Amino acid sequence: MSQTLLLRPPIPEPPAADLPWYRAFAAFRTNALAAWPAEAYEREIQSRRLLGRHRLLVSSAAAIRHVLVDNHANYRRTPATVRILRPIIGNGLFLSAGEDWKHQRRTVAPAFAPRTIPVIARHVATATAEAVDSLAAEVARPIDLFAAMQYLALEIAGRSMFSLATRQHGAELRSRLMRYGRGLGRPYVLDLLLPLAIPSPRDLPRALFRPGWMRLIDRLIAERKRLPAEEAPRDLLDLLAAARDPETGATFSATQLRDQVATMLVAGHETTAVTLFWSLYLLAAAPAEQDKVADEVAGLDLGPAAAADALPRLVYTRAVVSEALRLYPPAFVMVREAIGADVVGGVPITPGTLVMITPWVLHRHRRLWRDPDAFDPSRFLPGAPPIDRFAYLPFGAGPRVCVGAQFALTEATLVLATLVQAFRLTVDTARPVLPVGVITTQPDHSPPFTLTPR
């Protein structure tokens, strides 16, 4: 495709220089994507001090590999990450550390092996078919697809985890997740400055949120356990409940199982919802690309019994998802705190240095990507020039790479294929949709989509 025909969706204008500390903190509360200066997209390493603390922005593939793989044991999640996320995900795989993390990772990994993809694909296809029927009844009027994808992603999460439709608990799940994400999940200045031993003003309301949220997860698990037993695993809860540490034979305790479930619900549903929204938005704004997906999925059986078998044929659809993840990575920043002294990209660092790896910047870096701001799914097609493993990090890398990455790609690919198979999508582009980085990379507003049955 000629580069002149590629869609270049709008993005926030980067500041000309580093922001002063008070504007930088404000940006991380309102839109972190507007915090990184223009030179960040050109340089491999950016070093600065902020409120007396050394911070390193790393966009060198070799330096990222060093931090996430070669010397990963020297880097831990920051106190701010722990204090913001622990009330809602507990001490599951994402926040655990040391030997506890190793035990959890060994135990969880088999549940996410490729052989379990058909279990998930069946739930994805069932929920998506119901969503198509619901959307078909609304085609006479503009549709808020962002809200629809949030609802669908949570429905898929509920079915994939519990084999349960979320009709009974879905409203409460959504309400609690939205309440946390819009308020308590946003970082405040003292969240970033105080050590964990000293509570921030937001820690009390977070602590008050936690018991009710965890009781809801416990109710879902209890309800699921009341279903008649089956031999074959029906969902992720079956797989996690049966999982054993291959070294010790230990299973998850009830608390550990609950924390894994909370982690996967929180991490899985919102990231998938925004990935689906951006994929649909890009296809609606680039009709030629949408037609390629429509041609690929025409005549395919994407129903529950056949969805897993159809996945290998969704080559272009998956490339669209991969490119949407490049342009709008849900996890737009990863921050690690150095435990000991090290050298990263030639820069000496001391204990306590914050190392920032920013997929938003990395995926649009001028030295790593051709025409980085353009929507071009062909980058991810077979035969395309290889992409450096550490230049593309929608799911992280190294030992702490997202264990559910393949499940997320399966879900997004199947949903996108099914929606494009059912509808031609158009979007009102009169008001540009800008990405906003707050917890995940979200749209600044939800534009009206028009769906026309194919």
pLDDT band at residue 2 using 50, 70 and 90 as cut-offs: very low
pLDDT digits (tens, 9 = 90+) for 137-193: 988 889 999 999 999 999 999 888 888 777 778 888 989 998 898 889 888 888 888
164 and 202 share a domain? yes
pLDDT band at residue 337 using 50, 70 and 90 as cut-offs: very high
Half-sphere exposure of 397 (CA within 13 A, CB side): 22
Number of structural domains in the chain:
2
pLDDT band at residue 6 using 50, 70 and 90 as cut-offs: confident
Average pLDDT score over residue span 258-283: 93
Q: Rounded distance, CA 111 to CA 100, Å?
A: 18
43 and 22 share a domain? yes
323 and 344 share a domain? no
Q: Is the pLDDT of residue 265 over 50?
A: yes
Q: What is the pLDDT of residue 379?
A: 97
Helix, strand, coil shares of the chain as percentages rounded to 5?
55, 10, 35
Q: Rounded distance, CA 360 to CA 356, Å?
A: 11
Average pLDDT score over residue span 36-41: 94
Q: Is the pLDDT of residue 3 over 70?
A: no
19 and 59 share a domain? yes
Average pLDDT score over residue span 316-323: 98
230 and 311 share a domain? yes
Considering 391, 410, 425, which residue would you say is the last residue of a domain?
A: 391
Q: What is the pLDDT of residue 261?
A: 92
Q: Is the pLDDT of residue 410 over 90?
A: yes
7 and 39 share a domain? yes
Half-sphere exposure of 125 (CA within 13 A, CB side): 19
3-state DSSP call for residue 409? helix
134 and 195 share a domain? yes
Average pLDDT score over residue span 214-221: 92
Between 194 and 397, the higher pLDDT residue = 397
Considering 364, 391, 418, which residue would you say is the last residue of a domain?
A: 391
3-state DSSP call for residue 436? strand
pLDDT digits (tens, 9 = 90+) for 140-154: 889 999 999 999 999
> Cβ neighbours of residue 426 under 8 Å, at least 6 residues apart?
284, 287, 449, 450, 452
160 and 243 share a domain? yes
Average pLDDT score over residue span 203-210: 95
3-state DSSP call for residue 176? helix
DSSP H stretches of helix in 13-144 = 21-30, 61-65, 79-89, 98-108, 117-136
In a domain? residue 24: yes
52 and 169 share a domain? no
pTM of this structure: 0.94
Provide the CATH number for the domain around residue 280.
Answer: 1.10.630.10
**What is the DSSP code string of 335-389?**
EEEESS-EEETTEEE-TT-EEEE-HHHHTT-TTTSSSTTSB-GGGGSTTSPPPPT
List 57's β-bridge partners, or say none: 46, 356
249 and 383 share a domain? no
Structural domain range at position 386:
1-63+338-391
Q: Rounded distance, CA 415 to CA 156, Å?
A: 10
300 and 157 share a domain? yes
406 and 386 share a domain? no
